[in-house]
Amino acid sequence: MFRELFPPMGLLADERVAELEKLIGVDIHMPSLYEQALTHRSYLQVVNTPDHRSNERLEFLGDAILGMVTAEYLFYNNREVLEGELTKMRSWIVNKKSLAICARALKLEDFLFLSYSAAQSLQRGNDSMLADALESIIAAIYLDRGFDEVRRFIVERLLPIMVGESLVHDTNYKSLLLETVQGRGQAAPRYVVVREEGPDHEKHFTVDVVVEDRVIGTGHGRNKKDAEQAAAETGLAYLASKTRTKRP
């Protein structure tokens, strides 16, 4: 079954496998898993052979594993924190931005198999491909070496970076905006995608945030989540300006 799902593609020579092992700190038993984990869908158009498969299915599995391990980590290390706050903490820690930062720290971009246009997009700062590849690597480690090994990889290699990144840089503007409007007795904000532009590997989204049928902010981003956060940030600024205007 494994050979059917992960046929060898001949993309990673032995020396490259050894380099990848050193970067991720994992002994690789089945290189074909990692070949698929590092293959962006754009590369399939380059090679055009039935044996080559993209990392999208592995990304799905890796996302679930990362969420579970992070939840377990937060559960045991924040014993007095309630469920709702744990959920917020996990969303602050696990996001595309922090995943991309981890991927760059591991120099994962040197191993990706991409089309020329996708590689150009990566150079221009589209980090979603890096984040997706890291989730796929997580799935590959799980399938290759088991749960204990993937947990060790996440807890020792990724979470220290992700937790630090969330503490230094991340502000959950959506959560802050929700608390602000509910504190005013208003209904929860709605986020509406008003524009979606670009090819699949270089999308750009424009999102409006609406409170009681009024657009209070607009945001832009390379994915919906980033655009919603940007919209929430401008919405908070708008509400703050209105509050200042009302003061005597």
**What three-state secondary structure class fits 114?**
coil
Phi and psi (nearest 5°) for 215?
A: -75, 120
User: What is the torsion angle, in degrees rounded to the nearest 10, for the CA atoms of residue 137, residue 143, residue 144 and residue 147?
Assistant: 90
35, 59, 63, 132: the active-site residue = 63
Q: Comparing C-alpha atoms, which of 36, 54, 55, 34 is closest to residue 44?
A: 54
pLDDT in tens, 108-167: 999 999 999 888 888 887 788 999 999 999 999 999 999 999 999 999 999 988 877 665
Residue linked to tokens 């919906």: 224
Q: What pLDDT was estimated at residue 233? A: 87
CATH code at 173-246: 3.30.160.20
Report whether 140 contacts 33 (CB < 8 A).
Answer: yes
Q: What pLDDT was estimated at residue 238? A: 86
Enumerate the domain spans of the chain: 2-168, 173-246
CATH architecture assigned to 2-168:
Orthogonal Bundle (1.10)
- Whether 135 is catalytic is yes
Report whether 130 contacts 55 (CB < 8 A).
Answer: no
| CB-CB neighbours of 116 under 10 Å | 9
pLDDT reading at 247 higher than 60: no
- Whether 59 is catalytic is no
pLDDT reading at 77 higher than 70: yes
| Half-sphere exposure at residue 120, Cβ-oriented, CA atoms within 13 angstroms | 4
pTM: 0.70
135, 165, 226, 228: the active-site residue = 135
